[in-house]
Amino acid sequence: MKRLYALILASLALAAGIALIQTRSPTTFAVGQGRVLPAEWLQPNPNPATPKADIRPADQTFLTFPEWFLVFSPEEQALAFQNRTSTAFPFMAHVAQFWQSYRIVNDQIKDAFPVNASYHVMICVIGVSTTVEYALKATYEALVGRLTDTGAPITAEDRYNAEYMADYVAFIKDHPWYEFDYSTRFKSLWTSTPLVGGSFMRKMERRYFLTTELIAKLLYAKLIGFGTHQAYDRPLPTTAVVLVKDSLVHLPRYDRFAQAAGTLAARGEAFKEIAGNTSAILLSVLVPAYGPTAFEDSRTLFTQPLASDPTRKRVVLAAPVPFLDRLLVRLGQANLPVEHVFDY
């Protein structure tokens, strides 16, 4: 056993060395150390004009980033799986991006706002479960998936996986993920996906893989859904916005907010309060790999090369609500798609 312990130590040391080398090619690039936003961008709004029921905490724009990352990640997957099987997908890079970006957004708010403990707990829960899921997937794909991989998704099962991912992404933009209908997916995997066809080994292996994924998620979703209904209230479906012209409008919340806000800005409207806040609001923009990373009227927090698409990167920046209209217009003119505006 002594020799085994020596070998264990050696292999752990080497593994740590390799891991260290790998952190030298980071997956998320912070623009500065710690807080990079000016303090005055993080001041609470003393007299909000927004009705009380529509006001949300100002730090939530930052705190919702990790949650949304878990939408961006499947979105990337759905896109990637159209041309490549999931076997080569860089799952672990996404795990790294999740935690690194969480740290950066938290750096911005941790001194300016009281700690929202329950929100952090929630982020950690989804972070850990995603880490576990992705680590299992990455290991399985490296160990078994690779043995049967076909590169392009040529089996009905691999294509089924791409479709399911796309549907899942569409669904979670407006719904909590745990309401996704996994059981119907599972049934149709076994009923409407042809059992025969080329690459038989791959087909069987993917069936095993997808069956495992769908059943595991089905069970986990039941568990989480059950807990969540008890712990949190149903979220509001709209975001209240006070325009400079002093009118109050209700825009759709979440994914469609960016577009609605963009349309208003294009029309020349400026924002005074969003969900009762005047402080900085976070947004993410998809930019070509060598495109600009800094924009007027805003501060960039970090950039993330898309792990599955080296031609693009995500730029995450913040601007005070009163500057948002100008920023949106400028981004529109530069033809840079706004991925998301984190509307608290």
Which parts of this chain interact with other proteins (CB under 8 A)?
1, 3-5, 7-8, 11-12, 14-15, 18, 22, 142-143, 147, 208, 211-212, 215-216
The tokens for 150 are: 């076909």
214 versus 331: smaller Cβ distance to other proteins: 214
From the CB of 74, what's the least distance to other proteins, in Å? 21
30 versus 142: smaller Cβ distance to other proteins: 142
From the CB of 133, what's the least distance to other proteins, in Å? 14
CB burial of 109-144 (b: ≥16 within 10 Å; e: otherwise) equals bbebbeeeeebbebbeebbeebbebbeebbebbeee
CB atoms within 10 A of CB 255: 18
Residue with tokens 């150390």: 33
Give ∠ CA 289-292-297 in degrees, rounded to 5: 145
From the CB of 165, what's the least distance to other proteins, in Å? 19
- Strand arrangement, sheet containing 338-342: 29-30, 299-305, 312-320, 280-288, 338-342
The CA distance from 100 to 202, in Å, is 35
* 189: CB partners within 8 A, 6+ apart: 157, 160, 207, 210, 211, 214
CB burial of 165-178 (b: ≥16 within 10 Å; e: otherwise) equals bbebbeebeeebbb
CB atoms within 10 A of CB 98: 24
56 versus 217: smaller Cβ distance to other proteins: 217
From the CB of 96, what's the least distance to other proteins, in Å? 15
Give ∠ CA 334-284-31 in degrees, rounded to 5: 95
213 versus 339: smaller Cβ distance to other proteins: 213
From the CB of 5, what's the least distance to other proteins, in Å? 8
36 versus 142: smaller Cβ distance to other proteins: 142
Residue with tokens 């998809």: 286
From the CB of 8, what's the least distance to other proteins, in Å? 5
Count of helix runs (H) and strand runs (E) in the chain = 10, 8
125 versus 147: smaller Cβ distance to other proteins: 147
138 versus 317: smaller Cβ distance to other proteins: 138
2 versus 234: smaller Cβ distance to other proteins: 2
